[in-house]
Structure 1
Amino acid sequence: MAPRSSDPARVREKILKQATEEFARIGFEGARVDRIAERCRLSKNMLYYYFKSKEGLFVAVLERMYQGLRDQQKDLSVRASDPLVAMEQLVHHTFLAFKDNPSAIRLMNEENKHRGKYIRKSGRMRDLYNPLVETIRFILDRGVKDGIFRSQLDPTIVYLTLSSLCYHYLSNQYTLEIALDRDLGSDDAQRLWLDHVSNLVLLYCLSESWVADRKKSQREMVNS
C-alpha cells in the first residue's frame, strides 16, 4: 500500500473517483470498500479515516456527482442571455450534463431505488439546488417583465419538466431504441430531441399575447 499522502485533498479526490466507478457499476450493496481501497493503493482504514463508513463514502460520492452536474448547468452564463435564449441554454446544459456523466444517471437510479435514504443525510443538497431554482426564477421574472413569459410560473415545475425530459431520454435510451426501433444515440437524433424539449418548455412559458404578436408579425412579413 502507498504511504499516506501529504495532500489530503488529492487523496480524497482519488478515493471519490474510484468509489464513483464502483458504486455506479455495482450499486451500494454490491460495492466493496476494500476493492476501492485496493484500486487507490490505500489501506481500508485510510478510507474510513476520510469518510468514516461505507455509507459516508456513498454520500460523498453523491454530493460530488450532484456538484458536477450543477457546475455544468452554468447559471451565470444563462443569466446573461435574454429569456428565450436562456431557457434554451438551460435545456442544453442540463442534457449535456447528464450525457457527459453516464455514471451520474446510474448513481441517481441507485439512490432513488433506496428512496433517497443516503442523500437525505447530506447537508449540501439544498445549497446545490437553490441557486439553480433562483436562476430559473430570475429568467422567468425577466421574461414576464419583457412581455415574453406568462406570469406566476413555478421555477421548480419548469425545472422538473426540462430535467425529466432530458433524463428520461438518456436513462432509458437503450431499451427505447429496441422498443421504438430508432437510433437515439446519434448527434442528429439528440439534436432533434433537444429542439423538441426546448420548444415544449418555451410553449409552456410563453404568454398568449407574445405568441399572438409574433404570429401577427410573421403574417405581415409574408404579406409585405
Structure 2
Amino acid sequence: MPAKKSPDAGKPTSRNAQLTKERILNVAFKEFAARGYDGARVDAIVARCKISKNLIYHYFSSKEDLFLQVMERAYGAMRKRQNELALTGDDPVADMRVLVEKTIQHFIEQPEFIQLLATENLYKAAHIKKSSVIPVIFNPLRTALDNILEQGKTKGVFRQDADWIDLYVSISGLGSYAISNRYTLSYVLDVDLGSSERQIRRMKHIPDMVMSYLCDLGEAQGIRSA
C-alpha cells in the first residue's frame, strides 16, 4: 500500500525571508567595504548570493537603501558588543578600561566597519544622515562613556577637564588608525601590524595611554591653574 503523501508534498519550500535578507546584507557588507559605495556593484552581490536581481529590489528599494541598511547593521554590531560590557559602576577606572578594550577589539575583529566609515566620510555622512536608527544605536555608547567619565571625576580619579567627545575621538583614532593604514604602516615600519602579537600589544598599549591621560590629575591641576 503506497504511503500517504503529506499535504505539502511537492510544494516548493517557502523562502525564509529573514535569512535571505541577512545573506544579502552579509555579502553587501563585504562588497561595500572592499569597493566603497561607488565601486560596489549590485550585480556582484546578486552573483555571490546566487539570487535574482529582482529579489534584491524586493528587500531594498535601491543601492542606496541597501548601503544604508548595511551601515545600520554595522553600527548595530558595535552596539551589541557594547551591550556585553560588564560595567559595575563602582570602579570607573576599571569600567573605562573595559570600554576602551571592547571598542578596540571591535575594530580589530571588524576591519570592514572602518572601511565602511571611510567610504561614508567621502560622502560627508550623506547616507547615514538619512537614518533615524543610527543615532539611537549610538546613544548608549555616548551615555556609557559620559557616565563613566563623570563617575571618575566625582570620585576624584579622573581629571576634571576631560571631555567625553574628545575622549571618544581619541579612543577611535587610536583603535582604528593602525587598522585602516596597516598595509602602508607595515611596509614603512617593517613590521606586520596585522599579526596577533602586534594586536595584543595594541590592546594593552591603547588603554594604557587613555588611562594615563585620564588619571593624570597633577597635569590637569596645572592646566586649570595656568
TM-score past 0.5 threshold: yes
Shift of the 183–35 alpha-carbon distance from structure 1 to 2, 3 Å rule, reads closer
96-105 vs 142-151, which moves further: 142-151
Matching residue of 2:125: 116
Matching residue of 1:77: 86
8 Å contact kept, 2:97–2:207: yes
Say whether 1:158 aligns with 2:170: no
Say whether 1:58 aligns with 2:58: no
Say whether 1:7 aligns with 2:16: yes
8 Å contact kept, 1:94–1:166: yes
Query: Which letter maps to 1:145?
Result: T
Higher helix share: 1
Percentage of pairs with the same residue: 38
- Give the Å deviation of 1:166: 0.4
**C-alpha deviations, 1:111-159, integer Å up to 9, x for none?**
1122212122111121111110100111112212322112253222211
- Aligned residue-pair number: 210
Matching residue of 2:143: 134
Matching residue of 1:36: 45
Structure 2 residue ranges without an equivalent (≥5):
1-11, 222-226
Matching residue of 2:3: none
Query: Which letter maps to 2:46?
Result: A
8 Å contact kept, 2:33–2:116: yes
Distance in 1 (alpha carbons) for counterparts of 2:128 and 2:59? 18
Matching residue of 2:4: none
Query: Which letter maps to 2:134?
Result: M
Distance in 2 (alpha carbons) for counterparts of 1:5 and 1:36? 22
- Give the Å deviation of 1:8: 2.2
Say whether 1:47 aligns with 2:47: no
Matching residue of 1:68: 77
Distance in 2 (alpha carbons) for counterparts of 1:155 and 1:58? 29
8 Å contact kept, 2:159–2:215: yes
**C-alpha deviations, 1:38-93, integer Å up to 9, x for none?**
32232212211211001100111111111112222346423556211111111211
Distance in 2 (alpha carbons) for counterparts of 1:101 and 1:182? 21
Shift of the 187–25 alpha-carbon distance from structure 1 to 2, 3 Å rule, reads closer
8 Å contact kept, 1:27–1:107: yes
Distance in 2 (alpha carbons) for counterparts of 1:129 and 1:122? 12
RMSD: 2.5
Shift of the 54–24 alpha-carbon distance from structure 1 to 2, 3 Å rule, reads same
> Over alpha carbons, which structure has the higher Rg?
2
Structure 1 residue ranges without an equivalent (≥5):
213-224
